[in-house]
Every structure is written in structure tokens, then in C-alpha cells.
Amino acid sequence: MPKDEFDFEDPLELNGVSILCDEDTTEPMTECFVEEFMRLGYNHKQILALFRNPHYQGMQLAFQKRGEPFVREKITEVFGRWGKEVVWKRGLSGTGPPGAETIPLKEPTPILSPTHGEKEKTTDPMGGPIPDLTI
């Protein structure tokens, strides 16, 4: 069989299927996205910007379906599991400490590189070091 043709009878052929279900998988999907980018070195603000970006379709779906407060809560929860503190500045929902600055309303451009500046020594939940992937 030529490589360009698809053979339905080939058991080793990679097949992707979608399965409809009644279960809402938005919450574990959101946690997975947050942990993935956190482990790559992104901070909580950069991850929130990725959820707002329409080019990240899975993240945008969770953002549109559940809203920004849900996404912020999941970011805080996942960062907390890894021993990282998240402080949100006051935004539209009124979250954050009194007197904090307001988050801009314009659509942010995501910063695709990890945080710059101070180098913090971090470890994963098992105690192993998280590699520094600053490019």
C-alpha cells in the first residue's frame, strides 16, 4: 500500500476520533494547560494572556465557556499545588488587594518567552529541580 493512501484495515495506522460525552471536561483541560505552561516557565499573567488569545483555541474555549474568574481560580490553584504564590491585581471583577492597579481592558499580546529578570530556584512537587528554559 502506498504511504499516501489511508488503509482502514491497517491496525498500526494512527486514527483520531472524537467521542461525544455528557461530561464537562473544561476543568481538567484548564488545569492541564495551566500546568503545562507554568512548567515551561510562564508566570500567571502570561498564562492568563494565553487564555485570552484566540490563536490558542483550546485555552480560548475554556475561557469563553467558563469566564475569566474561573480561569484565574484554576491558575491560582495549580500554582499553589506547585508552591508558587499568585497575586492578582484588581481587575473588572474587583479581585485583588485594595489600592492595587487595574488590569488593562485591551486584548493583551501574549509574551511567549518565560519570565525575565530574577532567577528563582523552584522545585516540582516531588522535590526535583525545574529546569531553567530561558531562551
Q: Which domain holds residue 73?
A: 23-113
Per-residue model confidence (pLDDT) at position 27: 94
Cα 105 to Cα 23: distance, rounded to the nearest angstrom: 33
Mean pLDDT calculated for residue range 98-123:
47
What CA–CA distances, in Å, run from 71 to 1, 15, 18, 51, 65? 47, 32, 25, 8, 10
* Angstrom distance (rounded) from CA 8 to CA 26: 32
* Structural domain includes residue 61: yes
Lowest mean pLDDT among 31-45, 93-107, 116-130: 93-107
Q: pLDDT-derived band of residue 120, with 50, 70 and 90 as boundaries?
A: low
Query: Does 120 map to a domain?
Result: no
Domain count for the chain, please give it: 1
Per-residue pLDDT, 109: 42
Sign of CA dihedral 98, 63, 35, 53: negative
